[in-house]
Amino acid sequence: MGLTAKRELLSLVDEAFDGPAWHGPTLRRAVAGVTARQAAWRPAPGRHSIRDLAVHAAYWKHEVRRRLNGGTSDPFPLDGANWFADGDVSWREAVQLLIDEHRKLRGAIAAMPAAALDRPVRGRDTAAFTIRGIAAHDLYHAGQIQLLRRLISK
């Protein structure tokens, strides 16, 4: 893969997180304007809140960056993996964590040599495949957050 492919991947990651995008709200836009109370609301016991989804997305941005860096990275700021307890961070801290992890991930992608996009990062997954995956992950959770926002407003 060449430099053009790398630019396209960066564009995809940017469009999924903070736009501009034609498909609807990006992940950053989906969390914008959400109050702490709204972020903590659950549609049913055991279901995820907007806050859960935001911290989960931040964690996976961190994990993808770790994979792209060959398995080494600074530790994620919260103990655990994937899903985190309610009291781990405030809503404001969760949003900032999401923004910070996106910025770090974007920086890691931008710093990669274009030739590294074909490099395996986990099993048969390549760096390019993993980058496309994290963009899709952002959009998936942006959609979930939008649905939760609509449920909350009813």
pLDDT digits 0-9 by tens, 83-117: 998 878 999 999 999 999 999 999 999 999 999 99
| pLDDT tops 80 at residue 72 | no
pLDDT score, position 110: 95
Q: CATH number of the domain at 114, please.
A: 1.20.120
For residue 150, tell me if it sits in a domain.
no
Instruction: Examine residue 73 and state whether it is found in any structural domain, yes or no.
Output: yes
User: Which residue segment(s) compose the domain that 39 sits in?
Assistant: 3-134
Number of domains observed in the structure of the chain? 1
Asked whether residue 94 is assigned to any structural domain, the reply reads: yes
Distance CA 49, CA 69 (A): 30
pLDDT at 74: 85
